Structure 1
């Protein structure tokens, strides 16, 4: 089964004050590391962004939001629309430490579910999650109704919630950094700390 990795890079990075996807970590841009890891997980990688010029250096296919100013769900819609595969792994552009092993497991869960979403310590992570392309119709319905919450959408599809206990039982990683996303400067400093302590390897 062919798979696609979809990176969502449509946010404004207002809390960071600069484009967080282009920040430097360990000598390269955050988004470069995500592209590399998705290349190890999926057959194709594409980027959802409304600023193509910022990411031309990545040399990956890009698609813009069809539903402007409507948050991550609009990015999911654009990515799934552009995807040529049924199985897709969606990752936010500010998650530098995603796990290759976990990404592969989430995609495998799509054999029996329409979506697979980690939930660690009662916090769900719908932007490091796997989705069948068939959920696209439900995504569009939610956008049409202006129901933009990712969790609200997930309740409308057959989503498998992957808890910390499930990951532990399978011997899969669930360390904090795999679900870490950088929203502000403090988070960026924490990411640098992870790198300096060999936690981001």
Structure 2
């Protein structure tokens, strides 16, 4: 698969991991492979990879550029803001480190559906649930995100007001690739099936 022009990948791993009882989700394993390694091995051929962190000490052994949160402890929007402000590419595919099954096909599909007049490109399911931590954001969105943060509105859904929204269930893509794992129970359920 060829590199995608003007695109970088940002893996968000700056969360508090409270629901996972303090275990960092990026380093949880399935068959001796960490979530982070699974994501990188699926996506590294598409675009340069950056890692979003709130504390660089957790990622010093990683051989990828680290993007430190400018605004701390405000959730994924803080990582997205810092990524768009730092990464020298026009578009950034943002992926949460708790989504180990992400596939290159999803990134390619979203990339093919970028509309320069929209604020981001995101998937939804048949119930209208959006997947903003597996979406493409343009760097031109930076001022809007900054204003939203200054207004103390940290909801990613607000960024979706002018988005290209694609129902994944109307595409050849697999919804299971967007599974995110937030709790010990969800993690155990995944381990039981892999």
Which of 1, 24, 31 is equivalent to 2:29? 24
TM-score (norm: length of structure 2): 0.90
Q: How far apart are 1:104 and its partner, in Å?
A: 1.0
Deviates more, 1:139-148 or 1:182-191: 182-191
1:173 aligned onto 2:173: yes
Q: Distance in 2 between matches of 1:182 and 1:125?
A: 13
1:73 aligned onto 2:77: yes
Counterpart position of 2:136: 130
Q: Distance in 1 between matches of 2:150 and 2:187?
A: 35
1:140 aligned onto 2:139: no
Q: How far apart are 1:114 and its partner, in Å?
A: 3.0
Q: How far apart are 1:53 and its partner, in Å?
A: 2.2
Q: Distance in 2 between matches of 1:145 and 1:33?
A: 36
Q: How far apart are 1:138 and its partner, in Å?
A: 0.6
TM-score (norm: length of structure 1): 0.87
Q: How far apart are 1:193 and its partner, in Å?
A: 3.4
Q: How far apart are 1:57 and its partner, in Å?
A: 2.4
SS of residue matched to 1:136: helix
1:48 aligned onto 2:52: yes
Q: Distance in 2 between matches of 1:149 and 1:105?
A: 25
Q: How far apart are 1:164 and its partner, in Å?
A: 3.0
Counterpart position of 1:93: 97
Per-residue deviation, residues 131-174 of structure 1 (Å, max 9, x unmatched): 1111111110100111111111221xx3100113431xxxx213
Q: Distance in 1 between matches of 2:100 and 2:169?
A: 23
Q: Distance in 2 between matches of 1:23 and 1:61?
A: 21
SS of residue matched to 2:98: coil
Q: Distance in 2 between matches of 1:108 and 1:87?
A: 12
Q: Distance in 1 between matches of 2:169 and 2:20?
A: 33
Gaps of 5+ in 1: 197-201
Per-residue deviation, residues 90-145 of structure 1 (Å, max 9, x unmatched): 00010000121111111222244331111013211000001111111111010011
Q: How far apart are 1:40 and its partner, in Å?
A: 2.4
Gaps of 5+ in 2: none
* Greater percentage in helix: 1
